[in-house]
Structure 1
């Protein structure tokens, strides 16, 4: 193979290969003939990557980088064939084989170059270690937390008493007792909100209760992120990286607004960040932290927060616990019973205890959004189905009504149609899955297209949707007496709201910063870190990815709409810390060669 390495190292070969691969890759998007400057820059970059990686990589590195490159290339190819407006899927044919191959090889060269660069330039370690005494550690945590809280305080004062949408009121009306508590929205979150509703009564205004909630949530999220920054500092993270991370969270209006938005997803994101950091600690210590009483209590509390702040939290934990058992299999006899005990306690509370308390379970159709959408697409496209399957669909919702309601990018028009009989579906779960499987055999392509379109934003780089709430939903004032008030403007005489909104829009429309809020970018960055850890034999570090992988998989299985930032908000919170953990120094028993 020496001759191949010799050829790949020649400038003429690299330039020619870069030009060919770039042309093929650009034809995937149909833009190479209109944008010559990006083509020229991409071709030059491809040539440089091919030359830089000549002869680099063992079989493991080549396989991991190649598999990742093929996956991300498939994402670009399939995603480019889906249109949101008007909704359409253009399909993939034989003519796409050569462009796809070119894109794969181009991305492979880039990924392999990045692998080599990261191997030669590992994440720097701070020159001065963090003080180890308790007072200094507490001061570090408090300082980072106070910095973030101060950065977010103008958002609280500007959007007083907080930001609220329909989902916010769906929780608040149950917390206030205006509607019965049920598990469609997490019960723990409703009970948590009830504290602030009562506080509002004592303070003389529901507005003040909502404001107290917003302030409390803001301080909790600042404390969680402050702890994460302190956690990185203790592990030798250089201060410039910590400051950049702190400024990113502090100055980005998305995180300032989320800090004062009444959504369960915000606190769930904080719990997921704590779980990710705990899994990172567990990976470093090979499970020893789970053998202590304090460590087990810490783990149980975080797990309960994840499970009870979002209804898919239990599935996240189930996946994470399995992965944790694999990574800590040496101590599985001691750790296994503890994991099972935590999981069993969660399932008992959410099952028998809720039933005994008269708390209705979450509607069944809420957890089968993807299968329901696949069946709806088959009905809307006049796909093949047996008489039994047709009868079941007509009982659940008349097929003509399905055709009128079907939207490729959200299942909500079907689920919330007045013609949709969700009680019939809930009583016939077994028949639902049988008919779903039967229709899958006959309509595999339509099922695949339905899933790809319904989950587009969770895997495709570039697809976006609304991210933040603009204020309090209009009927909040009329129905519940919750009135927005620009307290910052009253106190200072300066209204920050237009500046915040313009700043938010500018960040969204400027590609480099807009991409930092794109779900596809965050998902593929996390996947890259996992693949890099696998290629470098840093197996233990993969444990920290498990909670986010579980969240993404559960979202892909039950997402009701194609792109919802708040559903995967946790990934954005965890990404900077995961980046440091995986690219940082190796732990015991891990390879860095």
Structure 2
């Protein structure tokens, strides 16, 4: 008893010290709320208590003698350190005798944290055996999510609709289709609208779809041998996570796209667990086809992800080359049929090509606003697109809207000579590499920074219905719950934005657990996380704004990846 009490007191002291150092690294301690300090301290205390209880110190000492694990622990610690850091002035203005100990303390804590997680996965000794699990359990696992999210549905009836939502909704009546936002989501709206002429039908569909996919994912983990109490804990986490409650009742194509990313992740897990034999069933190939096609059609960055995944599958599972090639050809063929002859037949207007130029626009705008090095020729060309003073006046480091939607912004100059614009942008970047890098870092902040910049923002979710000509207004069926859930959502982003609403944390943990899984299962374990990692890569290449919805899939996939990483399957023939 005395020993456990001593461990608890030591853990509490280390927890308080660690949370204080971490919060000081992220922000001024005076700006942190009592609740944040309390949660961080309790979390750190629990971590250190478990650390000591399993004698992790001695185990890690041996574990880290291997260069790969030492390097990985150092690498992930450094990534977390950079991602959590507050504004540079917040750290650099402190005296060195305070700044250095804070840096070393935070790095030490993150190193122990990273090394412990990696060790826990790699040295998980519990034999996980495949189980026969009836498919009925898919629906049982989906029920809690449906029940919780239906409360959101009733509370925010008939659904949350932003201007992007009405870009789709207005096309239902106008029948003038545009692929600025993927038109396939509009067509889905039209189909469901024919059943019930209310936005609420989309919310119901999205709830059932996402809950079913989560049920399938938990069922997959159950068949791989994960214990029942862990599976139901996973279901609870999925059901109660705030982003999972509000997103299915919001009319965004991102909900279905990210649900498809989660389903693709689960499919990859089944393929990897079965060492490829999962592919041999016709029903499985049909599921792979539909999922890949959904990813390709429901977000404009989805098609490259599908192509890369098909190539990776062909490389990893050459014995099933014929089946995979057939599925890939079918996806590409149907995608081309929909986006070329069908789009032409329905007179679907193409998305403006300049929509993909968020990063070049931001780097040019920052160069102008920072009085960077521009030649007379470059200045004249950029002025023809938008007067230089307006580039500077409307530059926001985290969003391009004020520039690309400015009334004087002449995108035709770019469209008429696209290569000329790219050459000008490349030369501006080469002449101003530091400014260009700063612009890139700020514009992609959502994807790599856990700690929200002081001059930045995060668009977490949308509540209510934007002003519209359709006469649609919020009409909550559960008024009291509407207020409580709104308060809960506001609280989650006010107090714990870096935990719930900054997807960089999810990305880093996905990388860490995927590495750990590959260390004991082989490189193919990485295939499970590749769909969401490739999506993150496309976002890093052209993030237009700091909207959580672009990386909602990272939050969905994280719980699955963490649990999957503890499954040892490399030596088993056909576990699923």
> Normalising to structure 2: TM-score of the pair?
0.83
The partner residue of 2:553 within 570, 587, 591 is 570
- Distance of 2:143 and 2:48 partners within structure 1: 43
Cα offsets for 1:531-570 (capped at 9, x unmatched): 2234335322110111001110111111111x31111111
The partner residue of 1:151 within 131, 148, 153 is 148
SS of the residue 1:259 aligns to: coil
Alignment of 1:119-134 (within 5 A): 119-122=122-125, 125=128, 131-132=132-133
The partner residue of 1:64 within 39, 59, 72 is 72
SS of the residue 1:487 aligns to: coil
- Distance of 2:152 and 2:264 partners within structure 1: 27
Q: What is the match of residue 508 of structure 2?
A: 524
Cα offsets for 1:21-65 (capped at 9, x unmatched): 9999898658799999999x89x9699776552232422222322
Cα offsets for 1:111-160 (capped at 9, x unmatched): 2233223334457858xx7554xxx42x2122222332222222222222
- Alignment partner of 1:582 is 2:565: yes
Q: 1:34 to 1:401 in 2, by over 3 A?
A: closer
Deviation at 1:90, TM superposition (A): 8.5
Deviation at 1:376, TM superposition (A): 1.2
- Alignment partner of 1:441 is 2:430: yes
The partner residue of 2:261 within 267, 272, 283 is 272
- Distance of 1:504 and 1:374 partners within structure 2: 34
Q: What is the match of residue 504 of structure 1?
A: 489
Quote the RMSD (CA, aligned, Å). 3.8
Report if aligned partners of 1:291, 1:335 keep a CA contact under 8 Å in 2.
no
Alignment of 1:203-282 (within 5 A): 208-282=197-271
- Distance of 2:319 and 2:100 partners within structure 1: 45
- Alignment partner of 1:378 is 2:367: yes
- Distance of 1:150 and 1:24 partners within structure 2: 40
Cα offsets for 1:139-184 (capped at 9, x unmatched): 2122222332222222222222111111111111113226x21111
Aligned residues: 542
- Alignment partner of 1:177 is 2:174: yes
Moved more, 291-300 or 440-449: 291-300
Report if aligned partners of 2:521, 2:570 keep a CA contact under 8 Å in 1.
no
SS of the residue 2:148 aligns to: helix
Report if aligned partners of 2:520, 2:570 keep a CA contact under 8 Å in 1.
no
- Alignment partner of 1:110 is 2:113: yes
SS of the residue 1:480 aligns to: coil
- Distance of 2:31 and 2:267 partners within structure 1: 49
Deviation at 1:509, TM superposition (A): 4.4
Q: 1:443 to 1:320 in 2, by over 3 A?
A: same
Deviation at 1:387, TM superposition (A): 3.0
Gaps of 5+ in 1: 1-17, 84-88, 201-207, 490-494
- Distance of 1:24 and 1:250 partners within structure 2: 32
Moved more, 219-228 or 435-444: 219-228
Q: What is the match of residue 481 of structure 1?
A: 471
Gaps of 5+ in 2: 1-14
- Distance of 2:20 and 2:145 partners within structure 1: 46
Report if aligned partners of 1:371, 1:436 keep a CA contact under 8 Å in 2.
yes
Q: 1:232 to 1:466 in 2, by over 3 A?
A: same
- Distance of 1:534 and 1:396 partners within structure 2: 49
Deviation at 1:253, TM superposition (A): 4.0
